[in-house]
Structure 1
Amino acid sequence: MKTFTKAVALATVSTLLSAGGVFAASFTLGVNTALTTDDPTYKGLESFQQGVAKATNGDVEIRLFPGSQLGKDEDVLEQARAGANVAVIVDGGRLAVFTKELGILAAPYVVDTYEEARKVVTSPMFEGWVEKLRKASGHQILSFNWYQGSRHLMTNKPIKVPADLAGIRMRTPGAPVWMETIRAIGATPTPMGWTEVYSALQQKVIDGAEAQLPAIYGSRLYEVAKNISETSHFFLITGLVAGAKWFDSLPEKYRTAIREEALKAGDKASYGTIDSLADYKKKMQAAGVTFLQPDLKPFKDASRVVYDKLELNDLKKQVDGVLGR
């Protein structure tokens, strides 16, 4: 049954990728994202699409699928490792189930700036993790410098201190580091797909969500929740991840070009995100959202238990070593 389900999933992906007609390119890659087309990260993906086409003289074609058209992130990761020509923008927490080290990238308050994050994900240490992931799960990281913004708490009840989160059902991705962080700062973690969050808030299935400003605005969550507490509990650095089988099928010169273009596009997306944050905040304030700036120390203190519980302290030391802390 599992083999049959996988075959159906791969056939579905193949149908979607070929829906646009016959490709002139020798290789194609469908990139899935939950984000909308106006998100800075999506703009970065468009840059990646254009850069790869130019670098390979059109021999590798990138197709973009916003709004999770190819499925949930976890499903696309499974499709990729099974050999499908798909990739997805995903955080380290969801890759930690395959390679524990990558979970540190999604840990609470692990870095403070994009420059710090970029230094970590372009280091020899990180490349070792990339290779370990290939061997463990058959995934290939193309680049991991896609900053989507710091994640904040969005609720209808003002949140000023961790105690205010008691009894709050908070949507978060299902990876352990995300779940444990939300639990540590006082809320009840409730995993669900991103496209389900709007209706879940509207119907009061959940009481809040935690996300970055571009995603909140793009999904219009400000219509169903009116308070954003700028806790910055996660610095959302994500990666573009494909399958090793597909990647290894490419000529070496294309493999090199694709990783170089992914890094360039990640920079474009990240600086675009940084430049956009003030505007997103202004737009949501105009729509009636109240922004709160709580003291971060209680949230940082509460989240420290996550490093102990998930045994991330040694990895945190390694990150700090790369950053010269």
Structure 2
Amino acid sequence: MKNLAVITCAALGLWALDCSNVWAQTPKTFTLKFNHVLGPKEPYHDGFLKWAKAVEQRTNGGLKIDVFHSAQLGLEEDIIEQIRQGANIGQNTDAARMGNYVPGIAVMNGPYFVETLEEVAKLRKAPTVAKWQEELAAKFGLKVVSFNWVQGYRHFFTNKPIKTPDDLKGLRIRTPPAPIWQESIRALGAVPVAMAFGEMYPGLQQRAIDGVELVYNNIPGGRFYEVLKVANETRHIMLINFEVVSAKWFDSLPKEYQDALVEEADRAGEETSRQILRLEAEVEQQLKSRGMTINKDVDLAAFRKAGDKAFEVMKITDAKSAVHKEIGK
């Protein structure tokens, strides 16, 4: 309709009249290119596609999200820097990486910080967490759209049973390249090795690492059952993910588009998180059928105690205590 109106104005020689309002009647459209490192068969990918569909429908096509799996747009750290510069790119990330900018927020990726979806929900109303998000946007250009995405419990996947932190001594365990993650794995007894997600399988084949710490749903997608024998249920991190976009880009959106982006992300995140936790038992059975041993004989009390050191080393024990007080943990 807009193009027809413009052509009509031109044909009738009515540019002397105010035909500029023809342009204003058609709202500007926006596109977000959203990147994540997981494969196309992961529950998260399906969740992101549902988020994209809901946003596009709610905005009548005014805001479209193109989802890219398997880090197709690039490495997470590189994407985050592009986001900071104002690019219309989004990234599925975590508090550990956000802690590189606002140190306190890294507590959300520390050992046993939260252990239920109900506790995660309470974080959304915690004043300290809200303050950290405001600082990320104002000082570093990173707008947290949602952190209502929980990828499940992270466990140690190795080639021998792990019962206590002492059993991890000397084992090289892959971790993402973020300080809280490195210190968490070190506190729990292992030697952390920073490595990109896509490098883990060849790293295990070549014995550059002795194991990984991941959520159950990562294992079938990455075929890690081919190179690892034991799933040790340490549940050491309930993995909260952040969906992050450029604060500058977000501020350029109409208010109704901002609301759609945030609200639909939270809705899709909660649905996906609950689905993932329901699927864990099913994935366990899949891994058993493929020859893996599920080790539930883990001293969780010993791991919880050991994990406290990570917060001390990172000097964020006070931040942890403040948030726990706010959520009643």
The reply to whether residue 184 of structure 1 matches residue 187 of structure 2 is yes
Q: How many residues align?
A: 302
Q: What is the CA–CA distance in structure 2 between the aligned matches of 1:202 and 1:115, rounded to whole Å? A: 38
1:22-33 equivalences in 2 (<5 Å) = 26-33=29-36
Displacement after TM superposition at 1:322 (Å): 2.2
Q: What is the CA–CA distance in structure 2 between the aligned matches of 1:288 and 1:49, rounded to whole Å? A: 37
Long gaps (5+) in structure 2 = 1-26
Q: What is the CA–CA distance in structure 1 between the aligned matches of 2:133 and 2:229, rounded to whole Å? A: 40
Q: Do 1:42 and 1:269's aligned partners in 2 also have CA atoms closer than 8 Å?
A: no
* Alignment RMSD: 1.4
Displacement after TM superposition at 1:125 (Å): 3.4
The reply to whether residue 248 of structure 1 matches residue 251 of structure 2 is yes
Q: What is the CA–CA distance in structure 2 between the aligned matches of 1:205 and 1:25, rounded to whole Å? A: 50
Corresponding residue to 1:197 among 200, 212, 221 = 200
Displacement after TM superposition at 1:56 (Å): 0.7
1:55-134 equivalences in 2 (<5 Å) = 55-134=58-137
Q: What is the CA–CA distance in structure 1 between the aligned matches of 2:206 and 2:301, rounded to whole Å? A: 33
Letter in 1 for 2:309: V
Q: Do 2:127 and 2:326's aligned partners in 1 also have CA atoms closer than 8 Å?
A: no
Letter in 2 for 1:300: R
SS at match of 1:322: helix
Of 232-241 and 302-311, the range deviating more from structure 2: 302-311
Q: Which residue number corresponds to residue 312 of structure 1?
A: 316
Displacement after TM superposition at 1:25 (Å): 7.6
Identical aligned pairs, as a percentage? 40
1:190-219, Cα deviation, whole Å (9 max, x unpaired): 001001001100111111110001112211
Asked which structure has the greater CA Rg, the reply is 2
Q: What is the CA–CA distance in structure 1 between the aligned matches of 2:239 and 2:251, rounded to whole Å? A: 28
Corresponding residue to 1:148 among 151, 154, 160 = 151
TM-score, structure 1 length as denominator? 0.90
Q: Which residue number corresponds to residue 10 of structure 1?
A: none
Q: What is the CA–CA distance in structure 2 between the aligned matches of 1:182 and 1:124, rounded to whole Å? A: 28
TM-score, structure 2 length as denominator? 0.89
Q: What is the CA–CA distance in structure 2 between the aligned matches of 1:303 and 1:53, rounded to whole Å? A: 42
1:95-142, Cα deviation, whole Å (9 max, x unpaired): 001111210110110111011012113434322221110122101110
Q: What is the CA–CA distance in structure 1 between the aligned matches of 2:283 and 2:78, rounded to whole Å? A: 30
Corresponding residue to 2:273 among 270, 280, 292 = 270
Displacement after TM superposition at 1:38 (Å): 2.0
The reply to whether residue 211 of structure 1 matches residue 224 of structure 2 is no
1:61-120, Cα deviation, whole Å (9 max, x unpaired): 100111111111111111111121111111100000111121011011011101101211
Displacement after TM superposition at 1:248 (Å): 1.4
